[in-house]
Amino acid sequence: MPATALADRALLRISGEDVRGFLQGLVTNDLALLAPERPLWAGLLSAQGKALFDLILWADGEDVLVDCEARQADALRKRLATYRLRRPIRIEPEPGLAVHWSREGGGPPDPRLADLGHRWLGPAGEAAEDWTEHRLRLGVAEGTAELGQDKILWLEANAKELNGVSFTKGCYVGQENTARMNYRNKVNRRLVVVRAEAPGPRATAYYPQLGLAVEHRRVEDLGGAILPPWLAAALAG
């Protein structure tokens, strides 16, 4: 069997009454677009529009499965639970499934960027080895180690370019600042991947074995950053 499991990911199952309506008022993407072969990348933000968690949502009947960082799964579960109020919503770990990835196929394209490859859910298996390098060389940051928590605005994490936000849905947590930034075209900083021999002062994460770092930089100071076509096009516009 090929090694495809993403060992650093975990799944939460959200079930109960009107799960999509519950999430629609919380996360950045439009749950109306969620379908069995169409997962969505989304953020759960602070009221100021800063990233707290990034996640990939999967449809499973009336339930929604949340593909998230394994080390943040419990914190995310507790955060989501604070919004339930009296709703009959259950948020529980889903230990029977794992997140898988392959460059060639096996599931739908990654909702952020087709070049990332294909992603699917299935029984646990042998861990994939080159996912992190593949993702970083395509300029895609993820997780609290790279995005931080309550530090980086969602659009600075390239959410618009990577299909992680809807500007046509209704309100969600952090929507006001996010929509204002987009309307004014005022994304002054970006998360970018750079080649690095040591972590610099702007680094949010450093991978010495890869010689790569994720940095939070002003858009006029991107020298040395990896600028894949999707990001170069956004900056040129």
Cα 111 from chain centroid (whole Å): 9
**Is residue 20 within 8 Å of residue 64, measured between CB atoms?**
yes
Nearest to 43 by CA among 53, 33, 34: 53
Rounded Cα–Cα distance for residues 211 and 225 (Å): 13
Burial environment of residue 111 by CB neighbours within 10 A (0 to 12, 13 to 18, 19 or more): buried
SS3 136: helix
**Confidence label for 186 from pLDDT (cuts 50, 70 and 90):** confident
**Residues 187, 191, 196: CA angle, nearest 5 degrees:** 145
Q: Is the pLDDT of residue 2 over 90?
A: no
pTM: 0.96
Burial environment of residue 83 by CB neighbours within 10 A (0 to 12, 13 to 18, 19 or more): middle
Q: What digits encode the pLDDT tens for the residues 108-164?
A: 999 999 999 999 999 999 999 999 999 999 999 999 999 999 999 999 999 999 999
SS3 14: strand
SS3 213: strand
**Is residue 88 within 8 Å of residue 102, measured between CB atoms?**
no
Give percent of the chain above pLDDT 70: 100
Rounded Cα–Cα distance for residues 135 and 164 (Å): 16
**Confidence label for 237 from pLDDT (cuts 50, 70 and 90):** confident
Q: What digits encode the pLDDT tens for the residues 53-77?
A: 999 999 999 999 999 999 999 999 9
pLDDT number for residue 1: 62
Average pLDDT, the chain: 96
pLDDT number for residue 105: 83
pLDDT number for residue 89: 97
Rounded Cα–Cα distance for residues 100 and 102 (Å): 7
Tokens 């530090």 -> residue = 151
Looking at per-residue pLDDT, the higher value among 106 and 177 belongs to: 177
